[in-house]
Structure 1
């Protein structure tokens, strides 16, 4: 129960990593507010799972690309759950596309959701934490793609590198308020974001073969690292990053 008495906010939490992290934080004692864009049924199911654990939960719909979504999400969460102790920026998209004919709207939408949305969400959460006056933790779900490239991810990888850079800078800006800011770098995790890309059995076998631990990641693999960074066990960790990739990044052979 590492998060007993804490309130955690998670964006993009109706499915995938966000859903797993939201439920995982509740398993460690947290009350949870979930942001989601479209999947009402998924969000309600996640809330039900959290309430089964005896924790409070609410789902608030909103497109993170709209800056007003950030202030609304944080305000509603603070009002209904009492405070904001931990903020997990997870919402993101990756519509795979070739570089030379990348549509302007695909590029700009990816930037607005992944990077601009994160900026305003983190800003809103930080302002609430500063108002409360007793610190907090902010965690950005970046990606191994912040460190390596991808042929069909030229619009996506810069946003993930930007998320990590944002965490480094806000760690400095918010340290004086006792707010810790860190990044997680998931490797290939089996979620809706890449299910079409990995539907190719040959590509999936290749990706699995690149991972020293012998498998692709599951959303639940991000729960432990998130809970650690959110908890007081990480009270002297800020501006840091942690790979959660089964060893893929270090496998050069």
Structure 2
């Protein structure tokens, strides 16, 4: 069953990790896909190649989401190529782990600019295009379990993910009258470039795996189904919602 047949899906931060999986997954579900990426030209080209192998059209647009003009350029390029925007998956994010008391100002500000400001600009630009088109749309933001819990080395990161979750709640209200649905997914510990170095510590990895009732850490591909569902017409009455995708980690208090 192809949940996104005939739709145009945009995904930010899609040269690797969750974004890449979401983009390829959207193509598997029948969508044409435009991806945003910042530095990884080879990764972006590889992602587009995978989309095209599936018989769908793909487009890669380079740009730093922290800059407001990146969002308007991404939307314009996607519309020029595919004619419309049906779904925006706001995924781009960074998490340079660092202790709180000596957090460099630039590390804090860069994380805020990419994760929070970048999501805001992309969601806003996509929403403007969807309103102009007049047939609604779906926005899915990749927040995190970190929107709900803390992390000693993530004091700059967790507020941004709480902010992304809150942004979806508020835009759900602001955009509902236009038929635009806004939801967030909250991944648990997914094995990506963001946490590769942190989880290279075998003892920490075993500890994290032990906290997950399903007995394993997540893979980027575990996010495809939840994102495709929220993006699709199956979720036509779902907006302002947050879907935990964490293998049960959050509820495992004991």
For normalisation by structure 1, the TM-score amounts to 1.00
SS of 1:155's equivalent in the other structure is coil
| CA displacement at 1:79 relative to structure 2 | 0.9
Q: Distance in 2 between matches of 1:20 and 1:234?
A: 20
Moved over 2 A (4+): none
Q: Which residue is equivalent to 1:100?
A: 101
Q: Distance in 2 between matches of 1:60 and 1:17?
A: 17
1:213-247: per-residue Cα shift (whole Å, max 9, x none)?
Answer: 00000000000000000000000000000000000
| CA displacement at 1:125 relative to structure 2 | 0.2
| CA displacement at 1:58 relative to structure 2 | 0.4
Q: Distance in 2 between matches of 1:228 and 1:117?
A: 23
Q: Which residue is equivalent to 2:134?
A: 133
| CA displacement at 1:126 relative to structure 2 | 0.1
SS of 2:250's equivalent in the other structure is helix
| CA displacement at 1:163 relative to structure 2 | 0.2
Which ranges of structure 1 fall in alignment gaps of 5 or more residues?
none
| CA displacement at 1:93 relative to structure 2 | 0.1
Q: Which residue is equivalent to 1:11?
A: 12
| CA displacement at 1:90 relative to structure 2 | 0.3
Matched, 1:205 2:206: yes
Q: Which residue is equivalent to 1:26?
A: 27
| CA displacement at 1:144 relative to structure 2 | 0.1
Q: Distance in 2 between matches of 1:7 and 1:234?
A: 17
SS of 2:192's equivalent in the other structure is coil
Q: Distance in 2 between matches of 1:192 and 1:161?
A: 21
Q: Distance in 1 between matches of 2:191 and 2:106?
A: 26
Q: Figure out how many residues of one structure are paired with residues of the other and give that number.
A: 253
SS of 1:76's equivalent in the other structure is helix
| CA displacement at 1:111 relative to structure 2 | 0.1
Q: Distance in 2 between matches of 1:78 and 1:225?
A: 25
Q: Distance in 2 between matches of 1:16 and 1:45?
A: 13
1:51-87: per-residue Cα shift (whole Å, max 9, x none)?
Answer: 0100000000000000000000001001111100000
Q: Distance in 1 between matches of 2:253 and 2:151?
A: 16
| CA displacement at 1:122 relative to structure 2 | 0.3
1:67-125: per-residue Cα shift (whole Å, max 9, x none)?
Answer: 00000000100111110000000000000000000000000000000000110100000
Matched, 1:116 2:117: yes
Q: Distance in 2 between matches of 1:50 and 1:118?
A: 24
Matched, 1:216 2:217: yes
1:176-211: per-residue Cα shift (whole Å, max 9, x none)?
Answer: 000000000000000000000000000000000000
Q: Distance in 1 between matches of 2:79 and 2:123?
A: 14
SS of 1:149's equivalent in the other structure is coil
Which ranges of structure 2 fall in alignment gaps of 5 or more residues?
none
Q: Which residue is equivalent to 1:242?
A: 243
| CA displacement at 1:3 relative to structure 2 | 0.4
SS of 1:249's equivalent in the other structure is coil
SS of 2:115's equivalent in the other structure is helix
